[in-house]
Amino acid sequence: MMLHVENLQVYYGAIHALKGVSFHLDKGEVVALIGANGAGKSTVLKTISGLLRPREGSVTFEGQVLEEVPPQDIVRKGVIHVPEGRKIFPRMTVTENLEMGAYIHADRAAINRDMESVFERFPRLKERRNQLGGTLSGGEQQMLAIGRGLMAHPSLLLLDEPSMGLSPLLVEQIFDIIQDINEQGTSILLVEQNAQMALAIADRAYVLETGKIVMQGTGDDLLQDSSVIEAYLGGH
Amino acid sequence: MRSSALDKGLRTGVIFGIVIAIMFLIGFTVTGAGLVGKLFGVSSSYNTPPLTFFVIFMVLMGAWAGITAAARSLTEPDTLKRALTAGASAGAVSGLISAVVGFIFGTLNANAIDPRTYLPMVSPESTKLFLMNQSPLTGSLMLLGVLTVSGAAAAGLSFYLRTHDGVKSGARNITESVRKTIRSEGVARVTNSPYARYGFWLLVAALLIILPRTWGGYWNYVFGTVGIYIILGLGLNIITGWAGQLVIGYVAFFAVGAYTFALLTAPEPHNLTMNFWLALGLGVLAAGISGLLIGLPILNLRGDYLAIVTLGFAEIVRILLKSDLMTEYTAGPRGVRDIAGPTLFGRSFVSDVDFMYLIIIAVLVVTFIAYRLQNSRTGKAWYAINLDETVARATGINAFASKLLALSLSAAMAGLAGVLFASRNQFTGPDDHALMVSINVICLVIVGGIGNIPGVFLGAFALKGLPEILRETENYRLLIFGVLLIVMMRLRPEGFLPAKRPVLEKSAQTSSKEAQP
């Protein structure tokens, strides 16, 4: 088991956001967390990457306990969080954004190699490498955010709503890329509202509702499940 | 369309008339004439300037009104008649308003009524000057005439320059050829060659070595102050410009540096008389540590807590220094006297020239450090935190430690400025460390262009050097400050020398907008 989350309890002040979330992820898997707005999906990712602290429960990554580790050290363990809303550094160029992704690495030559491979994966970014991040289109910004995550050499990539606000064609492209990243050996924990797409590429998935996991199964199982279809897939 | 030219002219005239009237009421007409005199090399700081300069000042105002009116009424086809109508009407209306004001105050003067009870700047001399040393009626009519004629003439001239092909193409040819020369390969080879750059820096170095010796104690004092404010500005720029954390009570660190140094070297109240360089180091260190201690409890919070806490800290420091309670330790409200100057190999260097050199060296060192920091990994981390702290943390930056480092480096630089300040004045007291110092430093960083090192130099010069050069305008310092800020916000909202990124973003934005279908 690569990642093990056990009975996570997270509060925003008095608001009880996660009420005992438990799940796991095996090496090489794509695991999806789906659910409506406010279900607590992003909160789970922020807690794993250390941006939030759980009041109770534990996060274990490759046998090491994460919930007391500061975020900058979690990044160094290979758990990379790509926050939601295409969060890039708007006033840095594409190249500078990618360099920030490799902040934890020092080897200049390796960084340049990594950047070339990101550019290979995202040719659009190479065309715009001297443009400021804030001037890119929505899809390009999402690619940049993912590319920046890859620069850190993730063994587990936490993706928060990569499809948010993108056109259907771009969503498909982004999901192809996610699958491709996974096939090259990176495990992926994917948070999505676009349940259809997420379940299609996920090995396993969990359904989150108001801070609790209410259902789990393989991606295909959940795609067939009538209550999931009803709630998340615009059911018939 | 003649009526619209007249209309624009009248409106412009009203604005300029009111401006001239207000200038007169606050006594700025005398100052303005004095400044014109200064341009011609006639200094008359404390006397009423000669009439000629006042007339030139009024002609300039009229010309400004005329050109503005002509430009505002500009339509196709551009005719001389329109321009003249607009210019003359603008000049006439502003002249009329000025004449009425002048006539009223001239009559009051003639009847021995002193308006200074209500308008302290309207002296009989300034009224007399405003009326061109004539009787109220003649003087008002002359004002009207001067403004009307200069407005019309300037509008006509601007029309001529705008439309006359010879002038137009001539001007264009000149700018073209200048541009060509600047961009030509020969010039590029010269400016890009390392020798040219060495030559330029040699020249700068020579000036820095020669000027303090030749231009006298007064200018050494003025530019010494500018230098100290450059150090303060570069320091504040680290935490506020780069790391994006607003610090309002920056003067607190300045005070810590100045007082640490003062108490270690002055005979009273502790009689320590420590070595200058050792005390300098300790002053810088103490300021840096105070920054660290202030940052420890609050820098893991986001938002404006740092601004508020430092503001409070600055006031606490000042009030403690001023209180009788601390007199035994900090010499209380009367301040610390006989602070040591620099010594080297047993010789003491305390002349104004020596201090100027010391400040220049300190500015160079701090500038070098600032440039190194800007391009370092730490500098990038600060900028990332400034742009988006969440993402910065998600990329592995220790935001707390980075901000803490930025704050203590900022504080240390303020401490260095404080040491130099105290040592140069051989005195420091609580009033040297009022909140106004912080406000000035924030202003100079913003005016110069936040986040930009050359901008700090320009800002320090504009806020601390210019007011000394334009001594005549002393009473109007706040007025000029206000006008400067308004003009800046309209024309250069990112400061006079903005950091390169925002500019880049603007052009990139337009080009990407064009590129999108």
Q: The domain A3-232: what is its CATH number?
A: 3.40.50.300
Contact B90, B65 (CB under 8 A): yes
CA distance A27 to chain B (A): 22
State phi, psi for A32 to the nearest 5 degrees. Answer: -105, 140
Which distant-in-sequence residues (6+ apart) come within 8 Å of A68 by Cβ? none
DSSP letter for B49, please: P
Name, in order, each residue with C-beta under 8 angstroms of B351's C-beta and a sequence gap of 6 or more. none
Phi/psi zone of residue A4: left (φ > 0), alpha (ψ -120 to 50 degrees), beta? beta
- Quick check: A134 contacting B, CB < 8 Å? yes
- d(C-alpha B8, C-alpha B365), whole Å: 55
Stretch (H or E) spanning B464: none
8 Å CB contact of A90 and B508: no
Nearest to B401 by CA among B296, B478, B305, B320: B296
Question: Between chains, do A70 and B398 touch, taking CB under 8 Å as contact?
Answer: yes
Instruction: Say which residue, B194 or B10, is predicted with more confidence.
Output: B10
CA angle in degrees (0–180, nearest 5) for B385-B295-B429: 125
The half-sphere exposure of B50 on its side-chain side, counting CA atoms within 13 A, is: 10
The helix/strand/coil state of A5 is strand
Domain locations along chain A: 3-232
Per-residue pLDDT of B311-346, as tens digits, reads 999 999 999 998 888 888 888 888 898 888 888 887
Beta-bridge partners for A160: A191
**Strands annotated E in B269-425:** 336-337, 343-344, 347-348
B261 vs B275: CA distance, rounded Å: 10
Asked if B391's CB is within 8 angstroms of A89's CB, the reply is yes
Q: Are A156 and A186 in contact (CB under 8 A)?
A: yes
Question: Does B337 contact A at CB distance below 8 Å?
Answer: no
pLDDT tens column, A206-217:
999 999 999 999
Model ipTM value = 0.89
Mean pLDDT of B356-362: 94
Q: Return d(Cα B308, Cα B408) in angstroms, integer.
A: 17
Give residue B43's pLDDT: 66
- CA distance linking residue A84 with residue A80, whole number of Å: 13
Nearest CA to CA, how far is A73 from chain B (Å)?
7
pLDDT category, B514, cuts 50, 70, 90?
A: very low
Average pLDDT estimate for B192-212: 85
Q: What is the amino acid identity at position A226?
A: S
* CA of residue A156 relative to chain centroid, distance: 9
Q: Least CB-CB distance to B388: which of A75, A89, A104?
A: A89
Q: What is the mean pLDDT of residues A94-121?
A: 92
pLDDT value at residue A155 = 95
Quote the minimal CA–CA distance from A218 to chain B in Å. Answer: 29
pLDDT at B51 over 90: no
The mean pLDDT of chain B is 86
- B387–A92: do the CB atoms touch at under 8 Å? yes
